[in-house]
Amino acid sequence: MSAWSGLLGGFAAAVSPVNLLWCFIGSVLGTFVGVLPGVGPTPAIAMLLPITSYLGPVPAIIMLAGIYYGSQYGGSTTSILLNMPGEISSIPTCLDGYQLAKQGRAGPALAMAAISSFFAGTLSLVGLTFFAPPLAEVALMFQPAEYVGLMVFALAVVVNLSGKSLTKGLISGGFGLLFTAIGMDSITGEQRMTFGSLEMLNGFNFVVAAIGLFAIAEILVSVEEEVGQVAMMKIGKLMPTLRELWNNVGAMIRATLLGFGLGMLPGVSPAVTAFIAYDTEKRFSKHPEKFGTGVLEGVTAPEGANNSATSGGFVPLFAFGLPSSSALAMLLGALMIYGLQPGPIMWQQNPLFIWTVIASMYIGNVMLLVLNLPLVGMWAKVCEIPYSILCPTVLIFCAIGAFSVRGNVFDLWVALIFGFVGYGMKKLSYPPAPMLLCMILGDRLESSFRQSLVLSGGSFSVFLTRPITAVLLALAVILTAASLVARRRATAPSVLVEGDPNY
Amino acid sequence: MRREDLIVAVLCLATSAMILVESVPYYFTERGGLGSGAYPCYLALLLAICGVSILVQWFRGNRKTDTPPFFPRGRGRKLLVCTAGSLVAYRVGTDLLGFTFASLLLMIYQMRLLGHHRWWTTLVLSFVFVALVAYTFREWLYMALPRGFLGL
Amino acid sequence: MSQILGKKWMVLMVASALGVMASLLAAGSSPAAQYPTKPITMIVPYAAGGGSDLSARLIAVYAAKKLGKPVNVVNVVGASGITASMQMLGAPPDGYTLMIDGTSNTSFLAASRTDLPFKLEDRTWLGRWIGDPMYYMFNASTPFKNLKDAMDFAKANPEQYAWGAGAQGSQSMFHGLSLLNDAGVDPMKTKMLVFPEGMAPSVQAVLAGTVMHAGAMATDVAKLLPTGKVKVLGVATFERTKQYPDVPTAKEQGFPNATLLSWYGLSGPKGFAPEAMEAWTKLAQEAAKDPEFQAMAEKQNKPLSFMGPKEHLDYVLNESKNITALAVKVGLRK
C-alpha cells in the first residue's frame, strides 16, 4: 500500500464523528495540560489511561496522541505571559517571549508560537507519513557513543544561554549536572551524595526542578516587586505583521527539520530540541545579540521544534514499537492494553490503524491552530486577573504538577527548594536555563559515557573513531569556539537593555 | 561581580571539596573501570574552576558595589517573606491537613496578603477553586493527593 | 468581584463547593460493610507503560468488574521500587491499598541490595497472577546458532562479549547473569552494558547491533521477530512456551539454572484485612478459570500463572535465596 493511498484511507476513517470528537477532546486537554505549569503530557496520559478501557483503540489513541502534541501548543502561553513555562520544552520561549510581552507584543508572540507550532507540526507529519521506515533505521544507528556526541553537542548550547557572564552560566550548568548525579548511581547501584536519606535516593527530577526554578521563583520575584497585575503590559495587536511572518519562515523550516530529526532519537525529548533550535536560530540570525531582548524568532524556533519533535517521536514508535520518550512509552502501553503491537506486524495486518492516527494528527494540528489563535484574545483577559488571585492558583497547580511526576510527596519539597534557589539565581543574574538543560541531559550523558567505555573496553578513542560521534563532537567544539569569539566581539553597553533580561 | 557572588564562589569551592572527598575513593571500580565517583570528580573540578574564576574576576577589579541590596527593604520584603513563609507552611500543611485543606488556607491567606480582597470574595473564590481542582484531580483522574488527618 | 456575580450566584457556588468538599470527605471514610465499599488503590512501583504497570492494569480492570468498585492504578516511581514498597507498607491494612509485585522490586531487589529498609516477609502476600518467561534475543546477523554457541564464544572471549543487562539489579540483568554463570563464564569479565531506563533500551541495543543479546519479554518478541532483525535463541523457563514452541529452553541446551520467570503478583501491608484477603484470593481463583480474563491476558501477551499466597511466598523466598547466592558469586553484591 503506498503512502498516499494509506493516508487517504486514514483520512476517510479519521473524519468519522467519533474520531473527530476525541481528536478535539485530546487537543483541548493537551493544550490545557500544556498551559498548566508542571502538569505535562506524561502524567496526563498516565491519568487518562483508564479511560481507554471504555473507548475503542482508535479513538483512544487519537485522543492520547492529541494530548501529546497539543501540550506543545499550550506550553508557550504562560511562558510568554508570565515568564513561567507551561512545559519544559517552552523554557527557551520564556527568554524572548516574556520580553516581547513586556514590550506590549504578547499578541504577536502568542500568535507566532501557534503558527510556528502548526507549520512545524504539519510539515513534520509529512516526514512521518512518507519517510518513517528508512528514518527509523537511521535512528537505530545511534549507539551509546553517538549519544555522548549528541549530549556534548547539546551542552555546547549552554554557552549561548549564559548571557553576560560565562562563569555564571557554567556554574548554573555545573550544578545542574551535579544534581543529576545525586541519588542512586544507575550503573553500580551505589548511593551518591544521598547522606543516607531514602528520599534522596531518587535524585531530583528535572520537571520538578523546573517548576521550582521557573514558576515558583518567578512568583517570589514578582511578589517582591509588588506586581499588582500581570497586565501591566497591554496586549496590543493580536497578530504579527505579514513582514514578520515572512521573516520567520526560515526559522520555522529550520526548527521543523531540527525538531523532527532529533525527536526521532530515543531519549531526546522535545525540550532538548527546543533548546537546540533556539540556539541554532541565534547563530543563523543577523543580530544574535538581540536574542533575549524580544526577538520573534526566539519564540518561533523553540515552539516549532518542540512540535516537530513530537512527530519525530512517532517514527520509531510506529516503525518498531520503540518509544523515544516517557509520554510515548505510555502511549505504547495504551496500545498494548488493546493488544496492539506497533511495528512491522501492524503495518502488515492493520495499516489502517496507523494511517488513521496519522491522519487525525493532521486534523488535530488544524484544530489546535484554530483553537489557539482566537484564544490569544482570551489570554488577554486572563492577564487582567489580579496577581493576588493568580498567584495562589498557579502555586496550587505547581503543587499538583510536582506531585504528579512521580507520585512522591518529597518532590513538593524539592520544587520549593528549587524555587528558593531560583529566586536567588534571578537576583544574582545566574541563568536558570543552563541548569535545567544540564539536568535533562546529565543522566543520559553519564550513562552513555560509561556504556561507551564498557563497549570499547575502556578505550577513549571510540569517541574519535566513530564517524557520527566524531562529527558531533567536532561540531560541539566549533560551535563553542564560535560562541566564545562572538562574546568577545559583542559590543558591551549599547546592546544591553535595562535590567539585562538575558542575565 | 557583586559581593554576593563571592558567597557563590565560596559555595562552589566548598561543594567541590565535599564532592571530591566523597567521590575520589569511588573513582575506580574494583575491576579498574570507571566507577560511580568519576563523573562527580570532573564536575567538582568544573565547579572549582568557576569558583576560582569569580574570585579572580573580583580581585581584578570587576566588581560592582553599588548594586541594590539583595533583599529589598520595605513592603517588598514583607511580602516576600510572608509569601515564602506561606509556601513552607503549605508544604507542611499538605502533610498534616491534607491537600485540599492546605490549598484552601494558602489561597485565602495569599488573596488577603497580596490583594486585600474582602473576606466574602476571598472565601468564595478559594472554596470554589480548590473544590473544583481537588475534585477534578482526585475523583476524575484518581490522583492520590495527600490526605491529612481530617481526611481531606 | 461582587459586581460581576450577584449575591444569589455566590451563595449557590459556596453551597455547591461545600457539597463537593463534603463528598470528598465522605470518600475518605468507610463504614464496615461488605468488602469493597469504596475504590481500591493499586500501587505500581514503576512508570506507566512498563511491564508491572500493564500487568497491574490488566488485573485492575478485571478486579474492578468483579468486585464492583473501581481499582485505581497509581504509579509511585523511584529508587528501584523502594519508595512504592515503603508507601504500601505504611498504608493502613484495611484492604484498600495494595501493590503489584514483580521480581524486580522483591526477590531481585533483596538480592542485589544490602540496605533494604524492609524484609520480604514483612507484608501480606496475595498470590501470583502472571508468569512471563524471558527470552534470549539476539540480533539477526549473529553468528551463533544456539545458546551453546554463544556461551562457548563468551567463555573463550569474555571481554568481547557485549550484552544488554537492563537496569542494575533487574530481572533482565539476572537473566543474563544466570546464563553466563551456568556456562562457567565470569560475567564481570564480559561487557555487561547497564541501561538505567530498563529493559526497553537494552532490547533496542540488540536491534541496533550494539550488544549480542538481551533479555526480552514475550511482547518484545512478538513485536520484533517479524521485522526479521532479531533471532530468539532460547527461553529461560522449565518448559517450552505455548506461544513460541520452536524456541528451545535454556535447560535443554545445557543451562539448567538459567530459568527465570518474570512473575507478577499482589501484596498488601502487614495485617491485611482478612475479608479483603479472602476476596482477592477468591478473585484469583476465579480468574484462573475465567475464559474472558484469559482472552484479555492473551491479547496482551501476558501468560498467566497462578499461585496461592503461601505457595507464592515460599517460591519468592526460595528465588531470593538463589539469586542472592548468584549475586554474591558473581560479585554483584558485597
Distance CA A22, CA A334 (A): 15
What is the biggest distance separating any 2 CA atoms in chain C, rounded to whole angstroms? 86
Domains C40-132+262-328 and C135-259 share a fold: yes
Distance CA A486, CA A489 (A): 5
Residue C224 and residue A321: Cβ atoms within 8 Å?
yes
The count of domains in chain A is 1
| B55 part of a folded domain | yes
Distance CA A59, CA C297 (A): 22
Quick: pLDDT tens for B52-75.
Answer: 988 888 888 777 777 777 777 777
Q: Which helix (H) or strand (E) holds A26?
A: helix A17-35
Q: Which residues of B touch C91 (CB under 8 A)?
A: none
State residue A254's pLDDT score. Answer: 93
Residue in chain B closest to C334 (alpha carbons) equals B30
| A353 part of a folded domain | no
Nearest Cα of chain A lies from the Cα of C201 at a distance, in angstroms, of: 9
Nearest Cα of chain C lies from the Cα of A332 at a distance, in angstroms, of: 7
pTM exceeds 0.95 for this model: no
What is the biggest distance separating any 2 CA atoms in chain B, rounded to whole angstroms? 70
Does A51 contact chain B (CB < 8 Å)? no
Do A62 and A357 contact (CB within 8 A), yes or no? yes
Q: Considering just the CA atoms, what is the radius of gyration of chain B in Å?
A: 24
Residue C101 DSSP label: E
Domain extent, residue A315, equals 30-341+374-495
Do A188 and B35 contact (CB within 8 A), yes or no? yes
Whether A496 has a pLDDT exceeding 60, the answer reads no
| A49 part of a folded domain | yes
Distance CA C174, CA C176 (A): 5
Q: Are residues B13 and B40 in the same domain?
A: yes
Per-residue pLDDT, averaged over A146-156, amounts to 87
Q: Which of C9, C21, C186, C334 to mutate to test the interface with B (most CBs of B within 10 A)?
A: C21
| A384 part of a folded domain | yes
Q: Which residues of C touch A407 (CB under 8 A)?
A: 74-77
Q: Are residues B82 and B133 in the same domain?
A: yes
| Top-confidence residue, A191 or A453 | A453
| Top-confidence residue, C331 or C127 | C127
CA dihedral over C29, C33, C39, C45, signed as positive or negative: positive
Nearest Cα of chain A lies from the Cα of C53 at a distance, in angstroms, of: 8
| A198 part of a folded domain | yes
The CATH number that domain C40-132+262-328 falls under is: 3.40.190.150
Per-residue pLDDT, averaged over A247-265, amounts to 90
Distance CA B148, CA A304 (A): 43
Nearest Cα of chain C lies from the Cα of B6 at a distance, in angstroms, of: 36
Whether C185 has a pLDDT exceeding 90, the answer reads no
Distance CA A4, CA C180 (A): 49
Distance CA A457, CA A386 (A): 61
Closest CA to A136 of A452, A347, A451: A347
Domain extent, residue B131, equals 75-140
C contact residues 246-265, partner B, Cβ 8 Å cutoff: none
Q: So where are chain C's domains? A: 40-132+262-328, 135-259
**Preceding omega of A431 cis (within 30 degrees of 0):** no
The count of domains in chain B is 2
**ipTM of this complex:** 0.90
Give the CA count within 13 Å in the CB-facing half-sphere of C249.
Answer: 17
Q: Which CATH superfamily is domain C135-259 in?
A: Periplasmic binding protein-like II (3.40.190.10)
Residue B73 DSSP label: P
Per-residue pLDDT, averaged over C245-262, amounts to 84
Q: Three-state DSSP class for C46?
A: coil
> Which residues lie across from C262 on neighbouring strands?
C132
Q: Which of C52, C76, C77 to mutate to test the interface with A (most CBs of A within 10 A)?
A: C77
Do A152 and C132 contact (CB within 8 A), yes or no? no
Per-residue pLDDT, averaged over A424-449, amounts to 88
Q: Are residues B34 and B80 in the same domain?
A: no
What is the biggest distance separating any 2 CA atoms in chain A, rounded to whole angstroms? 65
State residue A258's pLDDT score. Answer: 92
Mean pLDDT lowest for which of A137-151, B28-42, C235-249?
B28-42
Quick: pLDDT tens for C73-85.
Answer: 888 877 678 888 8
Distance CA C271, CA C90 (A): 11
Give, in order, the Cα–Cα distances in Å from C118 to each of A164, A188, C244, C317: 51, 21, 38, 14
C-alpha cell at C47: 512508570
> Which residues lie across from A229 on neighbouring strands?
A386
| A446 part of a folded domain | yes
Closest CA to C38 of C19, C13, C64, C17: C64
Q: Are residues B79 and B127 in the same domain?
A: yes
pLDDT band at A484 (very low <50, low <70, confident <90, very high): confident
